[in-house]
Amino acid sequence: MAGNSFGTLFRFTTFGESHGPQIGCVVDGVPAGLRLSEADIQPDLDRRKPGTSKFVTQRRESDEVSIVSGVFEGFTTGSPVGLIIHNGDQRSKDYGQIRDQFRPGHADFTYWHKYGLRDYRGGGRSSARETAMRVAAGAIARVILRDLPPKPVIVRGALITMGGHGLDRTRWDWSQVAENPFFCPDSEAAILWAEILEKLRKDGNSAGGVIEVVADGVPVGLGQPIYGKLDSDLAAALMSINAAKGVEIGDGFEAAALNGVGNADEMEIDAAGTPQFTSNHAGGILGGLSTGQSVIARLAIKPTSSILTPRRSLNRFGETVEVVTKGRHDPCVAIRGVPVAEAMMAIVLADHLLQARADGTPLTTRPWDKKEI
């Protein structure tokens, strides 16, 4: 059954496999009249691109995106935006073992059971290569978030733990995120992480990590109250990323250890007369709707399953095998997960921004009610 689309009013559908001729994406629901070109998309793809450091896969992909529809003379037309990336690096090679083995932590066994056959080349459809199209769709979502609301909504992400090692939030500096191979906002932590990951990589091992994504400038009232809640949609979006195992909003699991007094986000009026919260335990969402504060989510990514250390498994003939996954794998997939997580948050917010238009939700501060005397 159809399961390759995401979103409601902003809806994208991806296709393509790791080693097929191309991967692609159709982004439907993009409003007309927005300025859009490949230059709005390519930079995000470049941040996710393989081969940028020794801590990401060395697969060579230019990941050059083409817009093939939906844009005319530099502006979106309201028609679906088609995006294509040609796969540059389809090495012809002997897949040998991989063809038949169920790699631990991979979708090999479950795909084989479900479908009876599988495209084993580089993981086929289950490869994280699909996430390039999420980043591309996310870049279009960012254009909507930039141009439609009264003030632009900005989505940023960072890696906040790597292999169980955290960072110092007092050193958080967004400008550092682009300066190290980890998307880490704490430059000192990044140095430490580099040492740790280098050792794991040489040992044929791998690491997990936690990603934090933050949206600033979100209008109040985005989301639907019961089943299209903003947090519910964010959870679905983030949990659909390869290797994701957990999602938190605001204080997340720590909120479960707080008491009601400590968890309450109090409100006050600021100098300009607009309502403000004095804290943000809620992560910018109450009752499924945005509060106007920063929307904050975190995503747990398991360690890369493709490792050089032999693991015991089965093959499709029912035989016991030892699996060693050679090849060009990310020692910590959480790193390249950062732009993907940003993209998914942007997609959810753009969708809800369009929903808010349908709902008639005011995108600026609602005037206070008049008191009847």
Q: Does 289 bind its own copies (CB under 8 A)?
A: yes
Residue from 331, 311, 330 nearest 321 by CA: 311
Beta bridge partners of 24: 15, 84
Q: Does 26 bind its own copies (CB under 8 A)?
A: yes
* Cβ contact 214:296 at 8 Å: yes
* Cβ contact 285:223 at 8 Å: yes
* Cβ contact 6:347 at 8 Å: yes
Interactions with its own copies, residue window 125-184 (CB under 8 A): 125-126, 130, 161, 163-164
Q: Which of 305, 336, 338, 350 binds its own copies (CB under 8 A)?
A: 305
Q: Report the residue number, 175 or 261, with the smaller CB distance to its own copies.
A: 261
Interactions with its own copies, residue window 330-349 (CB under 8 A): 334
Q: Rounded to the nearest whole angstrom, what is the least distance from the CB of residue 187 to its own copies in the complex?
A: 21
Radius of gyration of the chain (CA): 22
* Cβ contact 105:302 at 8 Å: yes
Stretch that binds its own copies, among 39-47, 51-59, 173-181, 310-318 (CB under 8 A): 310-318
Residues 231-250 as x/- pattern, contact with its own copies by CB under 8 A: xxxxxxxxxx---xxxxxxx
Q: Does 282 bind its own copies (CB under 8 A)?
A: yes
Stretch that binds its own copies, among 48-56, 123-131, 149-157, 180-188 (CB under 8 A): 123-131
Q: Rounded to the nearest whole angstrom, what is the least distance from the CB of residue 25 to its own copies in the complex?
A: 9
Q: Does 220 bind its own copies (CB under 8 A)?
A: yes
CA distance from start to end of the chain: 59
Q: Does 89 bind its own copies (CB under 8 A)?
A: no
Tokens of 203: 């040992």
Number of residues binding to its own copies, judged by CB under 8 A: 159
Residue from 140, 19, 180 nearest 90 by CA: 19
